[in-house]
Structure 1
Amino acid sequence: MPTLTIRHLTTYRYRQPVAFGEHRMMLRPRDSERHRVIEARLTITPEPLSLRHTQDDYGNHVGIAEFSRRSRVLSFESVVCVEHAPHLFIAVEDATPVPEAGFDRDADPDPVGAWALGLLPADGAIGSWALLTRLSERIHNDFTYRRREAMGIQTPAETIELGSGTCRDFAVLLIDVARRFGFAARFASGYLAVPLTREAGDGPETGHGSTHAWAEVHLPRLGWVAFDPTNGSVGGHNLITVAVTTSPEEATPLYGSFLGFPSDHIGLDVAVSITPGPIAP
């Protein structure tokens, strides 16, 4: 089985030495039928007073670091080697009706509901698989991807109004609409394992990969299926999952605090690269 090495470096910079509060990391991929972690290294500078690892309620791997030293620079370098077996997802055509019609055409729906109604044929007769595939493709075709440096995630209504967003915004829109139709849907984040023709990451991209976010929808017989509206793909054959949660706020790769003045923080650099082969010695 081929291997990939993922390097994810995050560096915070400050005007003067500051103290640090607890930092929580979600950087280690989840094992699945598509990929398996065979080696993982985590280097933190300055060295933390303590570092422990646990799993949250969703089964995601979480690292928790506590510090005793002050510094002008705080960096986290995660290097993970995974066995990765990309495969094309082939689903049997599902004629199961949509769980719920979802919307009253005679009512005055909100912007998201009004947009979602356009996914349904006039007679409302559409299977679950056809509807979800149409939903993902419509987001991919109708909205413009725009990298955004500001923190936070747009609401589905904001994404529809602006006609643009990041991969996280598109995933949240797909999840919102899927849930309105009665599907169980969740947020997923991790890495895009191969370069595509369209930018997809929320952070700087180097090499053959980037950070990424998408949605997963639960279907009878198929289980959780990945729908990537940013790239219009289904099945997650090129995705390496780090976290799955009910909301995007719970899937932040790295967050923590520092003790100092707000003006002390002068910069944040993030670099991700994915290369074939094992971790270099």
Structure 2
Amino acid sequence: MPTHYDITHTTIYRYKTPVTFGLHRVMFRPRDSHDLRVLATDLQVSPQAHVRMIQDPYSNSIALVQPMGEATELRIVCTFSIEHVVAPLDTLSLDPAAEMMPFAYAVHERLDLEHYLRPHYDDPDGTLIRWAHQFLYADGSNSTRDVLQRMNAHIGQSLSYVPRDEEGTQTPLQTLALGSGSCRDYALLMIEAARRLGVAARFVTGYLYDASLDTGGSEPGDSMTGAGSTHAWLHAYLPGAGWIAFDPTNNLMGSGGQLIRVGVARDPALAAPISGSWYGDPEAYEGLDASVVVRRISN
């Protein structure tokens, strides 16, 4: 049965003195597919702005927002109603040839997955590959799902979650050295580790449904890390099952109804929820307020 959600995403940039704004790239709209359907959308921008919608190379929906005139505040409010259908994990069977690691992708799939298979970050001393290999058991068979589930669980259990307001993502080696990171850092660490094990992986940005924050009724034990703002996780491409979600921040596999994807990319830098420019006194910038509310409407 589909579940319906209402989502409100609010971003406010504040300035001490009036500034003018350049073009802003907004990636807020949930990504339609067979399991997720957008029923209604609304985008409000203050000051008044010219808005046009495009699709990027990954077929993500992007709003190009050009605010008009000067202002001391840029406010962008996006609201959505969506229908989400969750497929039970036991229905997502892998191809027999991919059930155990290592496995090889079919040639026609590998051509399209190349950018998701190639590591994007250096590992000069082999630190990351050694870290990834700890999830492969030398004295037994390595189920592809089990290896990825072990890695997914280990990240959240062994690292300290530290939310960050500043833009950008730590490199995987920085995250391991610090022993901490945000959801974007956790996702990138697992993406790069999975790629070194021969698994295609991509970055996902979106929203996290947390039942404990839902005014429709709290459910004990359902509290999620990273709710209340944009969230990040990853997809691993498993032959026979397709793109499967892994959220190392909350040790989730599959959407389970909690993960609502907005955009995908081969690297976090290509999936920023919002980016843009402004012109004025360099000391004018005062700060950013951002919030996300995800409410379940019906089952």
Distance in 2 of aligned mates of 1:120 and 1:109: 20
Tell me what 1:259 maps to. 279
1:181 counterpart = 2:184: no
Q: CA deviation at 1:109?
A: 4.7
Q: 1: distance between equivalents of 2:164 and 2:68?
A: 33
Q: How far is 1:87 from its partner?
A: 4.6
Unaligned runs of 5+ in 2: 105-123, 212-221
Alignment of 1:103-182 (within 5 A): 109-123=125-139, 125-182=141-198
More divergent stretch after superposition (192-201 vs 1-10):
192-201
Distance 2:126 2:177 in 1: 12
Is 1:212 aligned with 2:231? yes
| Distance in 1 (alpha carbons) for counterparts of 2:93 and 2:242 | 13
Structure 2 residue 97 is matched with structure 1 residue 97: no
Structure 1 counterpart of 2:179, one-letter code: G
Deviation of the 1:184 alpha carbon: 1.0
Q: Is 2:223 aligned against 1:197? A: yes
Q: Distance in 2 between matches of 1:167 and 1:85?
A: 24
**Which residue in the other structure is 2:56 paired with?**
56
Deviations 1:136-158 (A, max 9, x none): 11112211211122322111111
Q: Would you say 1:245 and 2:257 are equivalent positions? A: no
Change (3 A) 1:124 1:157: farther
Structure 1 or 2: larger helix share?
Answer: 2
Can you list the C-alpha shifts for 1:127-178, whole angstroms capped at 9, x where unaligned?
Answer: 2222111111111221121112232211111111111111110100000001
CA distance in structure 2 between the aligned counterparts of 1:2 and 1:112, rounded to whole angstroms: 39
Percent identical residues: 37
Q: Secondary structure at 1:57's aligned position in 2?
A: coil
Residue correspondence of structure 1 range 69-80 to structure 2 within 5 A: 69-80=69-80
Any conservation in 2 of the 1:8–1:79 contact (CA below 8 Å)? Answer: yes
Give the aligned length. 263
Normalised to the residue count of structure 2, the TM-score between the two structures is 0.83
* Separation (CA, whole Å) in 1 of partners of 2:15 and 2:31: 32
Q: By how many angstroms is 1:222 displaced?
A: 0.5
What SS class does the counterpart of residue 133 from structure 1 fall into? helix
AA matched with 1:83? E
Instruction: Show CA shifts across 1:103-146 (max 9, x none).
Output: xxxxx952212211211212474122221111111112211211
